[in-house]
Structure 1
Amino acid sequence: MEKIMRLTSGLRWQGLKRYTAITLPILLLAACANTETASPEAAKPTATVSPKPAAVVVPPQQAELKTLIGLQDRLYDVAAPLLVNNALLCRNNARNLLGFTAKTKYSFTAEFLAAASSLGFTDQLQITGVLAGSGAAKSGLQRGDLLVAIQDKPAPVGADAERQTAMMLGPLVNGRNNIKVTVARSGSNLTMNVPLTRACAFGIELGNTDNVISYADGRRVLVSAGMMKFTQNDDELALVIAKEMAHNSLTHASRQRNTATMTGVIDNLIRLRPDATPLSGAAGVKPFPQQLDASADRLALYMVARAGYKVDDAGAFWQRLATQYPATVLNGYTAIHPATDYRMKAIDQTVSDIQAKQATGTTIQP
């Protein structure tokens, strides 16, 4: 049974779920009083100096966890319109989704358990993200809500809450239009009927590496922390996410007989400490033939435009990426997407086609 992250939002937090942390005490640095005997000169009145505020030292694992959650939140927020607005283009990968993610403190492995607790996570599932444009967003579910019940049945709690909730939701998302959800907010219980949303059901993963790379294994999309730092705005990040969604929709991993390799790479990179050995090379991933890569670019650009992001500078973004990280950088994006010149022609033509449709109000689809 798939985890709740896939069933409820099409997004998963496995990258964070494998993190581990030890909480260190918060240290308050207080000024020390001078205990030496004062001389007569020192006894003269002096200007009063206000003491400096005590510095607060944040435990390193807590700070690291907050940073990682921040990256995952941005990835989630940018991916949301791509998932919700492209069910038509995701082919056999569209599903009925509730549109939210939920986590307990046990969503983070042992080393990060205390840090997660210090950030407010408990045994109870807490909503950590709401998919923009989904039924969850329209019904008023919010980040921080605690999951109390589903269809009037108590929501599971504890270390196995995600798996058990997935088992509850699995039979419910098919054959109905909405699901009754009760949450706790500000000390009160709220019950709402959450409409199901047809959306692309790809898992969206954060890769814990500074390598500028992204991958797709047919059911998941991984974007590395390095790639997120390389992108200069949400439009560029949307291009990267959509390109991998397009590879999945077009079944390119299986057509290249590369699914198992891609899955292994993603499984490695969502760990807190990935195995660095394959990161020094191409990790066994086969470069995409130019025809497959260009077809994914075309579909991705339509996904981006349908989600409300700009496509005008798509060619410039991919060219900048290929220039800064050429195919000779084996652990970079261009190494497995080497046909830059061929891709640029397809990208420029597709952007022109989309702009023409936007100008005339024509439906944006291939």
Structure 2
Amino acid sequence: MAGRANKAVAGAIRVKALRATVAGTSRLAALAAAALLSACSTFAPQSSAPQATSATPLPAEQVTPVLSPRMAAAQETLKTMVALQDRLTRVSAPLLINNADLCKGQARNLLGFTAQNRYSYPGEYSEASHAVLGYGERLQVSSVLAGSGAARAGLRKGDGLVAVEGKQLQGGPDAESQAAEVLGPLVGKQATLNMTIARNGGNQTLNVPVTRACAIRVHLGNSDNINSYADGQRVLITRGMVNFAQSDEAIAYVLAKDIAHNVLGHAGSMRNAATVGSMIDNLVRTKPDLSLLIGGAGIKAVPQEMDAAADNLALYMLARAGYNIDRVKPFWQRLSTQYPATVLNGYTAVHPGVAYRLAAIDKSVADIKGKIAGKKPLVP
């Protein structure tokens, strides 16, 4: 997003936007997810209907559209990406909302939902989004962050965005940037937004409280290497890492660690932000340039002291978000054993100080449990 207003809304409406996944340039979505809709249906003729012959063409409504291989592939890719991004949104929600005070300067007032239309996707994915997600000209709510003010106000997936504070929200190719210009100034100065939405064929008005949360965008990476990346403002977890982690809880361990790296400013301190940012820009695309994953990709290994500091903050974030911290150490042990530092562009290659980290994790877990037992605030 360009301009101050767009930046204010980037964290507000994005925490992952699938548009970033398929295009790499989503301007409005923060955490993209959407309900999957059926692309087409099969017509079943009644037994009394006349049989078609070569001289009698089938009525138009009886013809099932035949998708080209390219469009069928686009629809399947979009379905998979939406499902995975939706999972990241769900897992990251308590981490971002419950730790606003620990995010320090990266906490912002956010809208707590994402919105997209068919123009949020490039090329054949625009048509696929219409078929798979039901997107059209108008911006449509694609996900609502659990625990946010938007969720409490009753905003739902599929709601169309009509107006905010009496200002109409336009549809079409520039809908996202135009909405950013309207919403940006409002989110920063108002506790509640009066929003008009389209639902079930009519308009409704909702008073949507803004949500104080960590303004860190969470993305899915379209690659199979076992890694995640943090560039100071964004977190990206690869498809390979999601598959390795398997459980939502383990995914939360990875996300919390990278959120902590961002809060602590480690990418900037290491002068690694631009390099990591370029990797994130690449991997959010539908067809990333996987040749960039050859070798070390120019990404510097994180010093063990920085890694331990991020592990410590991540453990507090996890505990405050309701995740079980007893299984954090076994997860990182399993990862480093199966994918050691010799696996290039794997997580351990960028975070090689495993023994140092594991010892620090033991101490942090003990400290957190002591604070819980003593009913002390869970702050590092």
Once the two structures are TM-superposed, the CA of residue 27 in structure 1 deviates from its matched residue by: 9.7
Residue number in structure 2 paired with 1:306: 320
Q: 1:60-102 CA deviation, whole Å, 9 max, x = no partner? A: 2212111100000000110111110111111110000110000
Q: What amino acid sits opposite 1:76 in the alignment?
A: T
The 8 Å contact of residues 16 and 107 in structure 1, kept in 2 or not, is answered as no
3-state SS of 2:185 partner: coil
Residue from 145, 149, 154 that aligns with 2:163:
149
Q: 1:154-200 CA deviation, whole Å, 9 max, x = no partner? A: 11211111111111111111222111111111112111111111100
Once the two structures are TM-superposed, the CA of residue 281 in structure 1 deviates from its matched residue by: 1.8
Matched, 1:18 2:27: no
Once the two structures are TM-superposed, the CA of residue 363 in structure 1 deviates from its matched residue by: 2.0
Q: What amino acid sits opposite 1:16 in the alignment?
A: T
Matched, 1:359 2:373: yes
3-state SS of 2:187 partner: coil
Once the two structures are TM-superposed, the CA of residue 29 in structure 1 deviates from its matched residue by: 11
Query: 2: distance between equivalents of 1:89 and 1:13?
Result: 27
The 8 Å contact of residues 223 and 290 in structure 2, kept in 1 or not, is answered as no
Which ranges in structure 2 are unaligned for 5 or more consecutive residues? Answer: 25-38, 45-50, 52-63
Matched, 1:76 2:89: yes
Matched, 1:114 2:127: yes
3-state SS of 2:290 partner: coil
Query: 1: distance between equivalents of 2:103 and 2:72?
Result: 42
Residue number in structure 2 paired with 1:191: 205
3-state SS of 1:331 partner: coil
Q: What amino acid sits opposite 1:75 in the alignment?
A: L
Residue number in structure 1 paired with 2:261: 247
Query: 2: distance between equivalents of 1:14 and 1:281?
Result: 28
Query: 1: distance between equivalents of 2:177 and 2:17?
Result: 13
Query: 1: distance between equivalents of 2:248 and 2:319?
Result: 13
User: How has the CA–CA distance of structure 1 residues 165 and 27 changed in structure 2, closer, same or farther, with 3 Å as cutoff?
Assistant: closer
Once the two structures are TM-superposed, the CA of residue 365 in structure 1 deviates from its matched residue by: 1.5
Q: 1:330-358 CA deviation, whole Å, 9 max, x = no partner? A: 11000000000000001111111212222
The 8 Å contact of residues 15 and 219 in structure 2, kept in 1 or not, is answered as no
Once the two structures are TM-superposed, the CA of residue 5 in structure 1 deviates from its matched residue by: 4.8
The 8 Å contact of residues 15 and 207 in structure 1, kept in 2 or not, is answered as no
Residue from 175, 181, 184 that aligns with 1:170:
184
Moved more, 56-65 or 342-351: 56-65
User: How has the CA–CA distance of structure 1 residues 65 and 11 changed in structure 2, closer, same or farther, with 3 Å as cutoff?
Assistant: closer
Residue number in structure 2 paired with 1:325: 339
The 8 Å contact of residues 216 and 245 in structure 1, kept in 2 or not, is answered as yes
3-state SS of 1:79 partner: helix
Which ranges in structure 1 are unaligned for 5 or more consecutive residues? Answer: 20-24, 34-53
Query: 2: distance between equivalents of 1:106 and 1:170?
Result: 20
Once the two structures are TM-superposed, the CA of residue 14 in structure 1 deviates from its matched residue by: 4.1
Residue number in structure 1 paired with 2:13: 8
Matched, 1:222 2:227: no
Query: 2: distance between equivalents of 1:14 and 1:298?
Result: 33
Query: 1: distance between equivalents of 2:41 and 2:167?
Result: 43
3-state SS of 1:109 partner: coil
The 8 Å contact of residues 209 and 226 in structure 1, kept in 2 or not, is answered as yes
3-state SS of 2:189 partner: coil
Once the two structures are TM-superposed, the CA of residue 295 in structure 1 deviates from its matched residue by: 0.2
Residue number in structure 2 paired with 1:85: 98
The 8 Å contact of residues 21 and 221 in structure 2, kept in 1 or not, is answered as no
Residue from 302, 315, 325 that aligns with 1:288:
302
Query: 1: distance between equivalents of 2:301 and 2:43?
Result: 54
Q: 1:236-273 CA deviation, whole Å, 9 max, x = no partner? A: 11110111110100000010011110111111111111
Once the two structures are TM-superposed, the CA of residue 15 in structure 1 deviates from its matched residue by: 3.2
Residue number in structure 1 paired with 2:145: 131
Residue number in structure 2 paired with 1:212: 226
The 8 Å contact of residues 226 and 347 in structure 2, kept in 1 or not, is answered as yes
User: How has the CA–CA distance of structure 1 residues 141 and 159 changed in structure 2, closer, same or farther, with 3 Å as cutoff?
Assistant: same
The 8 Å contact of residues 192 and 207 in structure 2, kept in 1 or not, is answered as yes
User: How has the CA–CA distance of structure 1 residues 299 and 196 changed in structure 2, closer, same or farther, with 3 Å as cutoff?
Assistant: same
The 8 Å contact of residues 7 and 166 in structure 1, kept in 2 or not, is answered as no
Q: What amino acid sits opposite 2:263 in the alignment?
A: S
User: How has the CA–CA distance of structure 1 residues 205 and 11 changed in structure 2, closer, same or farther, with 3 Å as cutoff?
Assistant: closer
Residue number in structure 2 paired with 1:46: none
Q: 1:35-60 CA deviation, whole Å, 9 max, x = no partner? A: xxxxxxxxxxxxxxxxxxx9x98922
Percent identity over the alignment?
Answer: 51
User: How has the CA–CA distance of structure 1 residues 124 and 117 changed in structure 2, closer, same or farther, with 3 Å as cutoff?
Assistant: same
Query: 2: distance between equivalents of 1:140 and 1:173?
Result: 18
Residue number in structure 2 paired with 1:100: 113
Query: 2: distance between equivalents of 1:215 and 1:147?
Result: 32
The 8 Å contact of residues 127 and 146 in structure 1, kept in 2 or not, is answered as yes
Query: 1: distance between equivalents of 2:220 and 2:140?
Result: 20
Residue number in structure 2 paired with 1:38: none
Query: 2: distance between equivalents of 1:239 and 1:128?
Result: 25
Q: How many pairs are equivalent?
A: 341
Once the two structures are TM-superposed, the CA of residue 17 in structure 1 deviates from its matched residue by: 4.1
